[in-house]
Amino acid sequence: VTKRSVSPFDGLYALPGFPLTLLTVGQNVLTVVSFHYYSHKPPSVMVGIRPDNYSFKLLQEKRVFAVNLLRRDMVEVARQCGTITGRTQDKFARVGLTRAPATKIDGVLVAECPVSLECSVVHEVDFPSTHHWFVGKIEAAHVDDAYLREHALLYWMSEFRGVGELLLKDTSL
Amino acid sequence: VTKRSVSPFDGLYALPGFPLTLLTVGQNVLTVVSFHYYSHKPPSVMVGIRPDNYSFKLLQEKRVFAVNLLRRDMVEVARQCGTITGRTQDKFARVGLTRAPATKIDGVLVAECPVSLECSVVHEVDFPSTHHWFVGKIEAAHVDDAYLREHALLYWMSEFRGVGELLLKDTSL
Protein backbone atom coordinates (compact mmCIF):
# COMPACT_ATOMS: atom_id res chain seq x y z
CA VAL A 1 0.00 0.00 0.00
CA THR A 2 1.47 3.34 -1.04
CA LYS A 3 -0.09 6.21 0.80
CA ARG A 4 -0.08 9.84 -0.17
CA SER A 5 0.13 12.63 2.41
CA VAL A 6 -3.07 14.66 2.63
CA SER A 7 -4.28 17.47 4.88
CA PRO A 8 -5.48 16.65 8.42
CA PHE A 9 -9.04 17.45 7.30
CA ASP A 10 -8.77 15.04 4.35
CA GLY A 11 -7.53 12.45 6.82
CA LEU A 12 -10.72 12.93 8.84
CA TYR A 13 -12.70 12.83 5.60
CA ALA A 14 -11.36 9.34 4.83
CA LEU A 15 -13.14 7.75 7.81
CA PRO A 16 -15.76 5.22 6.68
CA GLY A 17 -18.91 6.10 8.64
CA PHE A 18 -20.49 6.19 12.07
CA PRO A 19 -23.97 5.25 13.35
CA LEU A 20 -26.42 8.05 12.60
CA THR A 21 -28.79 8.93 15.43
CA LEU A 22 -31.65 11.19 16.42
CA LEU A 23 -30.86 12.94 19.67
CA THR A 24 -33.86 13.99 21.75
CA VAL A 25 -33.45 16.76 24.30
CA GLY A 26 -36.56 18.06 26.06
CA GLN A 27 -39.23 18.08 23.34
CA ASN A 28 -36.75 18.65 20.50
CA VAL A 29 -35.01 16.25 18.15
CA LEU A 30 -31.87 16.62 16.03
CA THR A 31 -29.69 14.45 13.80
CA VAL A 32 -26.32 13.59 15.33
CA VAL A 33 -23.41 11.55 13.94
CA SER A 34 -21.03 12.66 16.70
CA PHE A 35 -21.99 9.75 18.92
CA HIS A 36 -19.94 6.91 20.38
CA TYR A 37 -19.94 4.65 23.37
CA TYR A 38 -17.85 5.87 26.27
CA SER A 39 -17.61 2.99 28.74
CA HIS A 40 -18.88 -0.53 29.27
CA LYS A 41 -19.15 -0.06 33.03
CA PRO A 42 -21.35 1.67 33.76
CA PRO A 43 -22.75 1.50 30.21
CA SER A 44 -22.38 5.02 28.89
CA VAL A 45 -22.13 6.94 25.66
CA MET A 46 -21.00 10.35 24.48
CA VAL A 47 -22.53 12.85 22.09
CA GLY A 48 -21.02 15.96 20.53
CA ILE A 49 -23.21 18.99 19.85
CA ARG A 50 -22.30 22.23 18.14
CA PRO A 51 -22.67 25.10 20.64
CA ASP A 52 -24.75 27.16 18.18
CA ASN A 53 -27.37 24.42 18.07
CA TYR A 54 -30.72 25.04 19.79
CA SER A 55 -30.42 21.73 21.67
CA PHE A 56 -27.05 22.65 23.16
CA LYS A 57 -28.51 25.13 25.66
CA LEU A 58 -31.46 22.83 26.30
CA LEU A 59 -29.11 19.99 27.18
CA GLN A 60 -26.97 22.14 29.46
CA GLU A 61 -30.20 23.01 31.34
CA LYS A 62 -31.91 19.61 31.40
CA ARG A 63 -28.80 17.37 31.79
CA VAL A 64 -30.64 14.42 30.20
CA PHE A 65 -30.98 13.23 26.61
CA ALA A 66 -31.93 10.18 24.59
CA VAL A 67 -30.09 8.65 21.65
CA ASN A 68 -32.39 7.05 19.08
CA LEU A 69 -30.81 4.92 16.33
CA LEU A 70 -31.96 5.68 12.80
CA ARG A 71 -32.94 2.89 10.41
CA ARG A 72 -31.56 2.79 6.87
CA ASP A 73 -35.00 3.62 5.49
CA MET A 74 -35.06 6.88 7.49
CA VAL A 75 -32.56 8.87 5.41
CA GLU A 76 -35.08 11.60 4.62
CA VAL A 77 -36.02 11.97 8.31
CA ALA A 78 -32.31 12.25 9.14
CA ARG A 79 -31.83 14.96 6.51
CA GLN A 80 -34.77 17.00 7.74
CA CYS A 81 -33.95 16.71 11.45
CA GLY A 82 -30.43 17.81 10.63
CA THR A 83 -31.26 20.85 8.57
CA ILE A 84 -34.29 22.57 10.14
CA THR A 85 -34.22 24.19 13.57
CA GLY A 86 -36.42 23.34 16.56
CA ARG A 87 -36.11 26.89 17.84
CA THR A 88 -39.15 28.16 15.95
CA GLN A 89 -41.16 25.04 15.11
CA ASP A 90 -42.07 21.57 16.33
CA LYS A 91 -39.74 19.30 14.38
CA PHE A 92 -41.62 16.11 15.33
CA ALA A 93 -44.79 17.45 13.69
CA ARG A 94 -42.94 18.94 10.73
CA VAL A 95 -41.05 15.72 9.95
CA GLY A 96 -43.87 13.33 10.87
CA LEU A 97 -42.24 11.65 13.85
CA THR A 98 -44.02 10.44 16.98
CA ARG A 99 -43.01 11.22 20.56
CA ALA A 100 -42.89 8.22 22.89
CA PRO A 101 -42.61 8.73 26.66
CA ALA A 102 -39.24 8.25 28.32
CA THR A 103 -39.29 6.10 31.45
CA LYS A 104 -36.34 7.37 33.50
CA ILE A 105 -35.58 10.85 32.20
CA ASP A 106 -37.50 14.08 31.65
CA GLY A 107 -37.76 13.92 27.88
CA VAL A 108 -39.15 11.99 24.95
CA LEU A 109 -38.04 9.17 22.65
CA VAL A 110 -38.61 8.77 18.91
CA ALA A 111 -41.25 6.04 18.53
CA GLU A 112 -40.15 5.20 14.96
CA CYS A 113 -36.54 4.43 15.95
CA PRO A 114 -35.70 0.78 16.71
CA VAL A 115 -33.33 1.54 19.61
CA SER A 116 -33.53 4.30 22.23
CA LEU A 117 -31.09 4.94 25.06
CA GLU A 118 -32.14 7.27 27.88
CA CYS A 119 -29.11 9.00 29.37
CA SER A 120 -28.17 11.43 32.11
CA VAL A 121 -25.17 13.72 31.67
CA VAL A 122 -22.36 12.71 34.03
CA HIS A 123 -19.48 14.65 32.45
CA GLU A 124 -18.66 17.29 29.85
CA VAL A 125 -15.37 17.16 27.97
CA ASP A 126 -13.56 20.37 28.74
CA PHE A 127 -11.46 20.93 25.65
CA PRO A 128 -12.29 23.42 22.84
CA SER A 129 -13.84 21.82 19.77
CA THR A 130 -16.37 22.48 17.01
CA HIS A 131 -18.49 20.07 19.08
CA HIS A 132 -19.09 20.10 22.81
CA TRP A 133 -19.03 16.49 24.05
CA PHE A 134 -21.32 15.22 26.81
CA VAL A 135 -20.82 11.83 28.50
CA GLY A 136 -24.15 10.20 29.35
CA LYS A 137 -24.81 7.23 31.61
CA ILE A 138 -27.49 4.95 30.14
CA GLU A 139 -30.40 4.99 32.61
CA ALA A 140 -32.81 2.94 30.49
CA ALA A 141 -32.70 1.23 27.08
CA HIS A 142 -35.42 0.14 24.68
CA VAL A 143 -34.95 -2.14 21.68
CA ASP A 144 -37.35 -3.35 18.99
CA ASP A 145 -37.24 -7.16 18.99
CA ALA A 146 -37.23 -7.16 15.18
CA TYR A 147 -34.19 -4.85 14.98
CA LEU A 148 -30.96 -6.17 13.47
CA ARG A 149 -27.66 -4.32 13.11
CA GLU A 150 -28.12 -4.49 9.32
CA HIS A 151 -31.12 -2.16 9.68
CA ALA A 152 -29.05 0.73 11.02
CA LEU A 153 -27.89 3.81 9.13
CA LEU A 154 -24.32 5.09 8.90
CA TYR A 155 -23.19 8.56 7.89
CA TRP A 156 -20.01 10.45 7.31
CA MET A 157 -19.17 13.59 5.33
CA SER A 158 -22.31 13.73 3.16
CA GLU A 159 -22.61 9.96 2.58
CA PHE A 160 -25.50 7.94 4.02
CA ARG A 161 -24.67 4.22 4.02
CA GLY A 162 -26.03 0.92 5.20
CA VAL A 163 -24.25 -1.40 7.62
CA GLY A 164 -22.39 -4.12 5.73
CA GLU A 165 -22.70 -7.87 6.00
CA LEU A 166 -21.33 -9.97 8.84
CA LEU A 167 -17.77 -11.09 7.99
CA LEU A 168 -16.95 -12.97 11.20
CA LYS A 169 -18.49 -13.49 14.59
CA ASP A 170 -15.75 -14.05 17.13
CA THR A 171 -15.74 -13.34 20.82
CA SER A 172 -11.96 -13.30 21.34
CA LEU A 173 -11.44 -9.59 20.79
CA VAL B 1 -42.29 0.11 16.33
CA THR B 2 -42.85 -1.52 19.72
CA LYS B 3 -39.75 -1.50 21.84
CA ARG B 4 -38.96 -3.67 24.81
CA SER B 5 -37.02 -2.38 27.80
CA VAL B 6 -33.61 -4.00 28.12
CA SER B 7 -30.62 -3.48 30.43
CA PRO B 8 -28.29 -0.52 29.83
CA PHE B 9 -25.62 -2.99 28.66
CA ASP B 10 -28.01 -4.58 26.16
CA GLY B 11 -28.76 -1.07 24.93
CA LEU B 12 -25.05 -0.57 24.26
CA TYR B 13 -24.94 -4.02 22.66
CA ALA B 14 -27.57 -2.94 20.10
CA LEU B 15 -25.29 -0.38 18.46
CA PRO B 16 -24.50 -1.32 14.84
CA GLY B 17 -20.71 -1.00 14.53
CA PHE B 18 -17.80 1.42 14.52
CA PRO B 19 -14.67 1.70 12.34
CA LEU B 20 -12.06 -0.80 13.51
CA THR B 21 -8.52 0.54 13.70
CA LEU B 22 -4.97 -0.40 14.53
CA LEU B 23 -3.51 2.04 17.02
CA THR B 24 0.25 2.45 16.93
CA VAL B 25 2.05 3.77 20.01
CA GLY B 26 5.83 3.78 20.03
CA GLN B 27 6.78 0.52 18.30
CA ASN B 28 3.63 -1.31 19.40
CA VAL B 29 0.28 -1.89 17.68
CA LEU B 30 -3.13 -2.81 19.07
CA THR B 31 -6.67 -3.20 17.77
CA VAL B 32 -9.03 -0.43 18.86
CA VAL B 33 -12.74 0.09 18.17
CA SER B 34 -13.05 2.89 20.73
CA PHE B 35 -12.22 5.55 18.20
CA HIS B 36 -14.19 8.56 16.96
CA TYR B 37 -13.57 11.97 15.57
CA TYR B 38 -13.53 14.74 18.12
CA SER B 39 -13.56 18.01 16.21
CA HIS B 40 -13.47 19.33 12.67
CA LYS B 41 -11.35 22.34 13.64
CA PRO B 42 -8.62 21.58 14.26
CA PRO B 43 -9.17 18.10 12.81
CA SER B 44 -8.90 15.80 15.79
CA VAL B 45 -9.94 12.37 16.96
CA MET B 46 -10.27 10.48 20.22
CA VAL B 47 -9.27 6.98 21.23
CA GLY B 48 -10.17 4.99 24.33
CA ILE B 49 -7.67 2.54 25.81
CA ARG B 50 -8.10 0.17 28.74
CA PRO B 51 -5.67 1.17 31.52
CA ASP B 52 -4.42 -2.41 31.89
CA ASN B 53 -3.24 -2.39 28.29
CA TYR B 54 0.50 -2.24 27.59
CA SER B 55 0.02 0.69 25.21
CA PHE B 56 -1.75 2.77 27.84
CA LYS B 57 1.43 3.55 29.79
CA LEU B 58 3.38 3.95 26.56
CA LEU B 59 0.90 6.56 25.35
CA GLN B 60 0.93 8.47 28.61
CA GLU B 61 4.73 8.69 28.23
CA LYS B 62 5.00 9.40 24.51
CA ARG B 63 1.89 11.61 24.07
CA VAL B 64 1.68 10.70 20.37
CA PHE B 65 -0.11 7.91 18.51
CA ALA B 66 -1.31 6.97 15.05
CA VAL B 67 -4.69 5.60 14.01
CA ASN B 68 -4.52 3.18 11.09
CA LEU B 69 -7.79 2.10 9.45
CA LEU B 70 -8.24 -1.62 8.92
CA ARG B 71 -9.47 -3.02 5.62
CA ARG B 72 -12.27 -5.59 5.50
CA ASP B 73 -9.80 -8.24 4.38
CA MET B 74 -7.73 -7.72 7.57
CA VAL B 75 -10.07 -9.41 10.04
CA GLU B 76 -7.44 -11.94 11.10
CA VAL B 77 -4.85 -9.19 11.67
CA ALA B 78 -7.42 -7.33 13.78
CA ARG B 79 -8.11 -10.44 15.88
CA GLN B 80 -4.43 -11.11 16.50
CA CYS B 81 -3.49 -7.51 17.31
CA GLY B 82 -6.41 -7.44 19.74
CA THR B 83 -5.64 -10.63 21.61
CA ILE B 84 -1.85 -10.91 21.99
CA THR B 85 0.21 -8.51 24.08
CA GLY B 86 3.10 -6.36 22.90
CA ARG B 87 4.64 -6.43 26.34
CA THR B 88 6.70 -9.58 25.69
CA GLN B 89 6.91 -9.83 21.90
CA ASP B 90 7.04 -7.79 18.70
CA LYS B 91 3.47 -7.87 17.44
CA PHE B 92 4.40 -6.51 13.98
CA ALA B 93 6.69 -9.50 13.38
CA ARG B 94 4.31 -11.98 14.98
CA VAL B 95 1.31 -10.84 12.91
CA GLY B 96 3.25 -10.12 9.71
CA LEU B 97 2.70 -6.37 9.57
CA THR B 98 5.21 -3.81 8.27
CA ARG B 99 6.28 -0.67 10.08
CA ALA B 100 6.24 2.51 7.99
CA PRO B 101 7.92 5.68 9.24
CA ALA B 102 5.76 8.43 10.69
CA THR B 103 6.52 11.92 9.38
CA LYS B 104 5.48 14.22 12.24
CA ILE B 105 5.43 12.07 15.36
CA ASP B 106 7.85 9.78 17.18
CA GLY B 107 6.27 6.49 16.22
CA VAL B 108 5.39 4.18 13.35
CA LEU B 109 2.48 3.58 10.99
CA VAL B 110 1.09 0.31 9.68
CA ALA B 111 2.18 0.07 6.03
CA GLU B 112 -0.66 -2.35 5.15
CA CYS B 113 -3.44 0.02 6.33
CA PRO B 114 -5.02 2.31 3.69
CA VAL B 115 -5.36 5.35 5.98
CA SER B 116 -3.05 6.53 8.77
CA LEU B 117 -3.54 9.57 10.98
CA GLU B 118 -0.58 10.81 13.04
CA CYS B 119 -1.81 12.49 16.22
CA SER B 120 -0.49 14.28 19.28
CA VAL B 121 -2.39 14.08 22.56
CA VAL B 122 -3.95 17.44 23.43
CA HIS B 123 -6.38 16.32 26.14
CA GLU B 124 -7.37 13.36 28.31
CA VAL B 125 -10.98 12.90 29.37
CA ASP B 126 -11.02 13.00 33.14
CA PHE B 127 -13.98 10.81 34.00
CA PRO B 128 -13.76 7.20 35.26
CA SER B 129 -14.45 4.59 32.59
CA THR B 130 -13.41 1.11 31.47
CA HIS B 131 -11.54 3.07 28.79
CA HIS B 132 -9.31 6.10 29.23
CA TRP B 133 -10.01 8.51 26.37
CA PHE B 134 -7.29 10.61 24.72
CA VAL B 135 -8.05 13.48 22.34
CA GLY B 136 -5.48 13.69 19.55
CA LYS B 137 -4.90 16.52 17.09
CA ILE B 138 -4.15 15.18 13.60
CA GLU B 139 -0.61 16.32 12.75
CA ALA B 140 -0.30 14.42 9.46
CA ALA B 141 -2.54 12.15 7.39
CA HIS B 142 -1.77 9.55 4.75
CA VAL B 143 -4.31 7.94 2.42
CA ASP B 144 -3.99 5.24 -0.22
CA ASP B 145 -5.36 6.67 -3.49
CA ALA B 146 -7.13 3.36 -4.19
CA TYR B 147 -8.94 3.36 -0.82
CA LEU B 148 -12.73 3.62 -0.77
CA ARG B 149 -14.99 3.75 2.29
CA GLU B 150 -16.41 0.36 1.23
CA HIS B 151 -12.99 -1.18 1.93
CA ALA B 152 -13.10 -0.40 5.64
CA LEU B 153 -13.89 -2.76 8.50
CA LEU B 154 -16.50 -2.22 11.21
CA TYR B 155 -16.71 -3.99 14.55
CA TRP B 156 -18.96 -4.11 17.54
CA MET B 157 -19.50 -6.70 20.28
CA SER B 158 -17.88 -9.69 18.54
CA GLU B 159 -19.18 -8.91 15.05
CA PHE B 160 -16.82 -7.91 12.24
CA ARG B 161 -18.75 -6.25 9.40
CA GLY B 162 -18.21 -4.48 6.13
CA VAL B 163 -19.34 -0.93 5.38
CA GLY B 164 -22.65 -0.97 3.52
CA GLU B 165 -23.54 0.53 0.18
CA LEU B 166 -24.06 4.23 -0.49
CA LEU B 167 -27.75 5.11 0.01
CA LEU B 168 -27.58 8.84 -0.64
CA LYS B 169 -24.94 11.47 -1.17
CA ASP B 170 -26.21 14.80 0.11
CA THR B 171 -24.27 17.77 1.41
CA SER B 172 -27.11 19.46 3.28
CA LEU B 173 -26.52 17.80 6.64
Summarised one tens digit per residue, pLDDT across range A77-89 is 999 999 988 888 9
Do the chains contact at A43 and B11, CB–CB below 8 Å? yes
The set of residues, in sequence order, having a beta carbon less than 8 Å from that of A105 and lying 6+ positions away, is A64, A65, A66, A118, A119, A120, A139, A140
Chain B hits for A114, CB-CB cut-off 8 Å, are 1, 3
Note the ipTM here: 0.95
pLDDT tens digits, one per residue of B148-166? 999 999 999 999 999 999 9
Residue among A160, A62, A48 nearest A107 (CA) = A62
CA distance B26 to A58: 42
Contact B158 A171 (CB under 8 A): yes
Q: How many helices (H) and strands (E) does chain A have?
A: 4, 13
Which residues in chain A are closer than 8 Å to B36, comparing Cβ atoms?
18, 34, 36
To the nearest whole angstrom, how far is the Cα of B139 from the nearest Cα of chain A? 7
Q: Cβ contacts (< 8 Å) between A18 and chain B: which residues?
A: 18-19, 36
Interval A97-152: pLDDT, tens: 999 999 999 999 999 999 999 999 999 998 989 999 999 999 999 999 999 999 99
Cα-trace Rg, chain B:
17
A2-23 pLDDT, tens digit per residue, is 899 999 999 999 999 999 999 9
Select from A5, A11, A36 the Cβ nearest to the Cβ of B18.
A36
Say if the Cβ atoms of A43 and B8 lie within 8 Å: yes
- Using a 10 angstrom Cβ sphere, with 0-12 exposed, 13-18 middle and 19 or more buried, the burial of residue B50 is middle
Min Cα distance A63 → chain B (Å) is: 16
CA distance B89 to chain A (A): 18
Confidence of residue A162 (pLDDT cuts 50, 70, 90): very high
DSSP reduced 3-state for B36: strand
Q: What is the pLDDT of residue B4?
A: 97
Q: Which helix (H) or strand (E) holds B83?
A: helix B75-83
Q: Do A143 and B14 touch (CB under 8 A)?
A: yes
- Paired residues of A3 in beta bridges: B144
- Structure pTM? 0.96
Contact state of B161 with A166 under an 8 Å Cβ cutoff: yes
Helix (H, G, I), strand (E, B) or coil at A156: strand
